[in-house]
């Protein structure tokens, strides 16, 4: 069974911050740690931010680990629903 890591998403989760957040995620992905992401403070998200989450989740699942998003802000809920990613990203309302 893998270890679980909890990580907070950046408040501005856009193309400008995606590389920095990827650098935070990568060591956890490499170690195949289950991830719980706190998205409660996200004020702005774009398709690059969500694309990073989808790619991270796919890599973790290939290695037998998981990733869930807890406590999403309204903007995360809205954009993920519009793009049809709410279920794929395992977004839940509370931790």
pTM above threshold 0.75: yes
CATH class given for the domain over 4-92: alpha beta
| pLDDT (tens digit per residue) in 24-54 | 999 999 999 999 999 999 999 999 999 999 9
Phi then psi for residue 53, to 5 deg, are: -65, -40
Confidence of residue 19 (pLDDT cuts 50, 70, 90): very high
Domain ranges of the chain: 4-92
Q: Which of 44, 45, 32, 46 is nearest to 4 (CA)?
A: 32
How far apart CA 21 and CA 9 sit, in angstroms, is 8
3-class DSSP state for residue 17? coil
């Amino acid at each position: 069974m893998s270890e679980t890591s909890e990580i907070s998403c950046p408040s501005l989760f856009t193309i400008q911050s995606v590389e920095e957040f990827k650098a935070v995620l990568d060591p956890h992905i490499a170690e195949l740690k289950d991830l719980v992401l706190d998205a409660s403070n996200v004020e702005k998200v774009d398709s690059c931010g969500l694309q990073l989450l989808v790619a991270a989740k796919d890599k973790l699942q290939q290695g037998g680990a998981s990733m869930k998003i807890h406590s999403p802000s309204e903007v995360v809920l809205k954009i993920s629903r519009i793009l049809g990613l709410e279920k794929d990203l395992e977004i839940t309302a509370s931790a």
